Amino acid sequence: MTDGKKVLFSGMQATGNLTLGNYLGALKNWVTLCDEYECFYSVVDMHSITVRQDPAELRSRARRLMMLYIAAGIDPEKNCIYYQSHVSAHAELAWILNCLTYMGELNRMTQFKDKAAKHADNINAGLFTYPVLMAADILLYQAAVVPVGVDQMQHLELTRNIAERFNNIYGDVFTVPEAYIGKVGAKIMSLQDPSKKMSKSDENPNGSIYLMDDPDTIMRKFKRAVTDSVGEIAYRDEQPGIKNLIDIYSACTGCTPQETVRAFEGKGYGEFKPAVGEAVISVLRPLQEEFARLNKEKDYIDSVIRDNAEKARRVSGKTLRKVMRKIGYPDRIF
Ligand code: ATP
Ligand code: LTN
């Protein structure tokens, strides 16, 4: 705990282009959490190399993600935003935690199974121990809460088990974290297949709205969004395409789904779809403008990266030193 506030930790991988799902489901909600929590948001570039990356591409994506954090409104004075690879404590604690994690536990991780199937030519040990690095991320900062999507719950559960195991053997060192379930549990679905979540690694670009899409592209994607033949704007599971559009419209305008339904009562899809497009364009425009502005502020971004990494090193170093003492590494008498 710093400043009397509980610590919150989350991270995002710099793989693929961020989608409206990432924004409405994660980034947008992260912005306001610093009032209540001491927040750490990492660009988890060490996780990214568990699948093969083009070096120049990875570097530029990681930088763009850092700028997107800021453009989305995460104030780097009030939140610690940093590259995971700039803080060596992550790798050091991950090694220690690897020695406290069982093969059997990692074998049960469904994300590993999915990714191993997807990257059959590169099933590396890092992909297998990915969740241990994630545990190190969280435990280094003594995070009490971790906002993550349902797909990461299994990793969070493992983190809790590792933390409890360590504490049982060596005494209380780690805060055992809880998942943070946001008020709006927005899960944005693909515009082309509303049974699938909108995802940055989707092969069909028409299913996702990317944060940097221009207004024409956004409008075109919404006009082509898969709906149904019912022809009524209603918020029900039997109409997943329309339900998704209602969710998107509501999240962008601040209405409840019921208010959105009422506003479009008696109207057709031909009128609703462009309205959703407009709502999304209005939300993304300021973000894109801010991103473009930041893109020209190289020195400022560099200073944010430097200062925040320093803070992250200081906070995580404290936990790491404690852990090293507990497990019996020799004292550093120099
Ligand atoms: P990938 O396709 O590479 O698996 P992704 O788009 O699913 O990526 P993640 O990097 O797994 O995104 O997640 C980053 C954050 O965005 C997580 O907190 C996750 O819950 C959130 N998120 C991702 N997709 C959606 C979505 N469609 N709706 C709401 N939140 C989402
Ligand atoms: N695995 C997560 C990203 C991630 C993370 C974390 C999230 C890495 N370390 C620590 C929360 C806390 C993902 O793919 N969404």
CATH classification at residue 21: 3.40.50.620
Together in a domain, 91 and 108: yes
pLDDT value of position 16: 80
Could you say which residues of the chain have pLDDT below 70? 1-3, 182-186
CA 42 – ligand 2 centroid, Å: 9
Question: Residues 127, 249: one domain?
Answer: no
**What three-state secondary structure class fits 108?**
coil
Active-site residue identified among 5, 187, 200, 311: 200
Q: Identify whether residues 172 and 44 lie together within a single domain.
A: yes
| CATH label of the domain that carries residue 211 | 1.10.240.10
Of the candidates 305, 284, 155, 172, the one whose C-alpha atom is nearest the C-alpha of residue 222 is 284
Ligand 2 within 6 A of CB of 48: no
Question: What pTM did the predictor assign?
Answer: 0.93
Answer yes or no: do 173 and 214 share one domain: no
- 211 and 281 belong to one structural domain: yes
Tens digit of each residue's pLDDT (9 = 90 or more) over 269-319: 999 999 999 999 999 999 999 999 999 999 999 999 999 999 999 999 999
Domain count, the chain: 2
**Catalytic residue status for 221:** no
**334 belongs to a structural domain:** no
User: Is any atom of ligand 2 closer than 6 Å to the C-beta of 277?
Assistant: no
Contacts within 8 Å (CB) and 24+ apart, 204-212: 208/19, 208/20, 208/21, 209/19, 209/20, 209/280, 209/284, 210/17, 210/18, 210/19, 210/20, 211/17, 211/18, 211/19, 211/20, 211/22, 211/23, 211/68, 211/284, 211/287, 211/288, 212/17, 212/288, 212/291
Instruction: Let me know whether 175 and 221 are in one domain.
Output: no
Residues spanned by the domain of 147: 7-180+298-327
- Which one of 6, 28, 197, 243 is the catalytic residue? 197
Give tens-digit pLDDT for 253-267.
999 999 999 999 999
Q: Can you list the positions of beta strands (E) in the chain?
A: 6-12, 37-43, 80-83, 145-147, 178-180
End-to-end CA gap in the chain: 29
User: Given this model, what pLDDT does residue 48 score?
Assistant: 96
Q: Which atom of ligand 2 is nearest to the CA of 155?
A: 1
Q: Whose CA is nearest to atom 18 of ligand 1?
A: 148
Q: Are residues 159 and 270 in the same domain?
A: no
- Tell me whether strands 6-12 and 178-180 are parallel, antiparallel or unpaired: unpaired
Q: Note whether residue 191 is domain-resident.
A: no
Do 240 and 315 reside in the same domain of the chain? no
Give the pLDDT confidence score for residue 183 in this predicted structure.
58
pLDDT value for 184 = 54
Asked if 12 and 65 touch (Cβ cutoff 8 Å), the reply is: yes
Residue nearest to atom 3 of ligand 1 (CA): 201
Q: Are 270 and 245 in contact (CB under 8 A)?
A: no
Quick one: 154 and 278 in the same domain? no
Query: Are residues 243 and 170 both part of a single domain?
Result: no
How far does residue 272's CA lie from ligand 1's centre (Å)? 26
Q: Are residues 303 and 272 in the same domain?
A: no
- Measure 303 CA to ligand 1 centroid, in angstroms: 28
